[in-house]
Structure 1
Amino acid sequence: MGTMLIKQRVLDIDRWAKWFYEPQLDAARREYGLTAVGSFVDADHDDTVIVLLEAETEEAARRYVNSQTLAGVRERCGAIGFPDGVWLGISPIVNPYA
């Protein structure tokens, strides 16, 4: 299991949250093996969200990033342009001191 981090400017945080947490979109993400862990307002830009997702596989996460599902939702939720970045951390690093 890995992590996906997305940073995205949006028109309105409340509008974005309404769509991001909508049950049908949550179900669609799960079909791609993604689970929403949390979402945050960027500390330096109050029109930017940072999303943290757990990803079952790198392949599924990449398919979601390029999916029509995500493209359609981005428009409805008020995303501005493309994300500032999408990062995949698929291989966890084990703390050798734990």
Structure 2
Amino acid sequence: MAKEEKTMMIRSLMIASAFGVLMAFSTVPAALADDHEGVACTMDAKICPDGSYVGRTAPDCEFAPCPGEEGDDAEDDDDAADDDDNGDDNGGDDEE
């Protein structure tokens, strides 16, 4: 019986050790995921009117402005012009 108990004890310790190692490695990716909250954008490129290329930038993955263009203000102005062309204005309240 002593030999069987010793064998059973060794097997139990090996199983417990293997379980502990698996648990340790399974928690490492979760810990790393909390540290890296970055944004990964696709590697698309946009051709600018001057022939240069710009890529997408974080955090919204929008295309960077072309050389000579302004940042987000140019896009907002274009949207406002599109609204006026479609008749989606506020009845001329903007021109006071």
TM range (shorter): under 0.3
TM-score normalized with structure 1 length: 0.17
TM-score normalized with structure 2 length: 0.17
**Structure that is richer in strand per residue:** 1
**Structure that is richer in helix per residue:** 2
Greater RCO (CA < 8 Å, at least 6 residues apart)? 1
Structure exhibiting the larger radius of gyration computed from Cα positions:
2
